[in-house]
Amino acid sequence: MIDVKEVLMEFMRTPAPAGYEKEMSYKMKGYFERFCDEVFIDNVGNCIGKIDGTDPKAPKIMFIGHMDSVGLVIRHIDEDGFAGVSRLGGTEEKVLAGAKFLVRSEDGQWYPALIGPKAHHVTPPEEKYVVENVNQVYLDLGAGSKKELEEKGIHIGCPVVYKPEATELMDDKVTGTSVDNRGACAALVKMAELLHQNRPVSSVYLVGTVWEEFNLRGAILAARHIAPDICISLDVALAGDTPNLKGVFDVELGKGPCAELLTFHGRGTLNGVLPCEGLFRLAKEVSRDMGISLQRTVAYGMLMDSSYVQLEGKGVATLDMGFPARYTHTPAEVCCVRDIEQLAGLCSGMAQRVNADMELKRF
């Protein structure tokens, strides 16, 4: 039986920045092969597992959760062996100073590094409360020269990720790196087990996607292969149960999975998702019948993979769902394992209710 906490912590400890998801993809493939009828990794690295349905006329369902995480990329190396960086995805600049990282060499080896703040004793008063932007900080790998880094295969363009870690907290909570979105990846693995035990009418595709934190385009290519009728994206939901976010979001850790009733990204793209009402109604019905509390949330300023999948073919019926998470895009994200377990159970229950008679048109 799949232990969601064990899988989650294994995935959190796996380095996989956007564009370099290979280690995660093969780990998911190994789990999917235990339960799915067909498993493959596509040309761009999406890991796809298929559970055959009992009715070929029933809608095809695609559940997606991205495997990649935010990070950095080396853009400059000085002669003393210090490396300047740029952001890879929405990395938080305010947490960079003092954080530990891994740098991936061109031959796939990982090397420890850190971003060091100016020593406290010599920091002038006007700098003590200033966050340096990403163009001002540098990676320290302990090298003595640029040549030493190059001999290790570390060059301009190499990706960087927070040093992977996972630690258990109280009350079934876990903290560490890449809760966003390894929680969804763990949910997909649990769904594979549940759907293997209770085969659905519809064929179900479980997809660990690439590039979400970079440009959200990996899921599009998976959708073009699968041609789904339904897409349900699994990702984090921003928790509002900390002192600094009370009243901003109503989502709380430990209170169950979430339905995202609006996602919209106003920075650089005007994309987002308004859910298919039929799918949201299904989520409410199944959660009620299973005794699972379903939280509702609106997420302005963020997108999920489904934002572009919904535009494929003649239009894909879409719903964004997730699990609550704190401190996203930092090395100290927090989630509650129960929420992920319930998300997997709810989504599996939804998949088992879909049949050929389900109406998927918006009107």
pLDDT tens per residue, range 214-223: 999 999 999 9
What was the pLDDT predicted at 150? 97
270 pLDDT more than 80: no
Structure tokens at 247: 């009243």
Q: Report CA dihedral (18, 104, 94, 334) to the nearest 10 degrees.
A: 60
What was the pLDDT predicted at 265? 85
Fold of the domain built from segment(s) 4-69+177-353: Aminopeptidase (3.40.630)
In the chain, where do the E strands start and end? 38-41, 47-51, 61-66, 71-77, 82-88, 100-104, 110-115, 138-140, 159-162, 166-168, 173-176, 204-209, 230-238, 258-264, 272-273, 295-300, 317-326, 333-336
User: What DSSP line would sit under 125-167, residue for residue?
Assistant: GGGTT-PPPTTT-EEE-S-SSHHHHHHTT--TT-EEEEPP-EE
Residue 335 bridge partners (DSSP): 174, 325
What was the pLDDT predicted at 253? 98
Residue 249 bridge partners (DSSP): 246
51-65, 115-129, 163-177, 319-333: which range is least confident on average? 115-129
Q: How many CB atoms lie within 10 A of CB 128?
A: 9
316 pLDDT more than 70: yes
Structure tokens at 325: 């998470």
What was the pLDDT predicted at 245? 93
Average pLDDT for 117-132: 88
How would you class 117 by CB atoms within 10 Å of its CB: exposed for 0-12, middle for 13-18, buried for 19 or more?
middle
CB-CB contact of 175 with 333 (8 Å): yes
Average pLDDT for 248-275: 91
Structure tokens at 357: 């008679």
Average pLDDT for 319-339: 98
120 pLDDT more than 90: no
361 pLDDT more than 90: no
* Average of per-residue pLDDT values in the chain: 96
64 pLDDT more than 70: yes
Domain segments of the chain as ranges: 4-69+177-353, 72-162
Separation between Cα atoms, residue 221 and residue 233, nearest integer Å? 15
Separation between Cα atoms, residue 84 and residue 359, nearest integer Å? 53
185 pLDDT more than 70: yes
Confidence of residue 362 (pLDDT cuts 50, 70, 90): confident
Separation between Cα atoms, residue 157 and residue 68, nearest integer Å? 17
79 pLDDT more than 70: yes
What percent of the chain has a predicted confidence (pLDDT) above 70?
Answer: 100
- CATH superfamily for domain 72-162: Peptidase M42, domain 2 (2.40.30.40)
Q: Which amino acid is at 53?
A: G
pLDDT tens for 91-115 read 999 999 999 999 999 999 999 999 9
269 pLDDT more than 80: no
CB-CB contact of 84 with 74 (8 Å): yes
Q: How many CB atoms lie within 10 A of CB 254?
A: 17
What was the pLDDT predicted at 282? 97
What was the pLDDT predicted at 268? 66
Q: Which residues of 74-107 are buried (b: 16+ CB within 10 A; e: fewer)?
A: beebeeebbbbbebbbebbeebbeebebbbbbee
Average pLDDT for 75-102: 96
pLDDT tens for 271-313 read 899 999 999 999 999 999 999 999 999 988 888 999 999 999 9
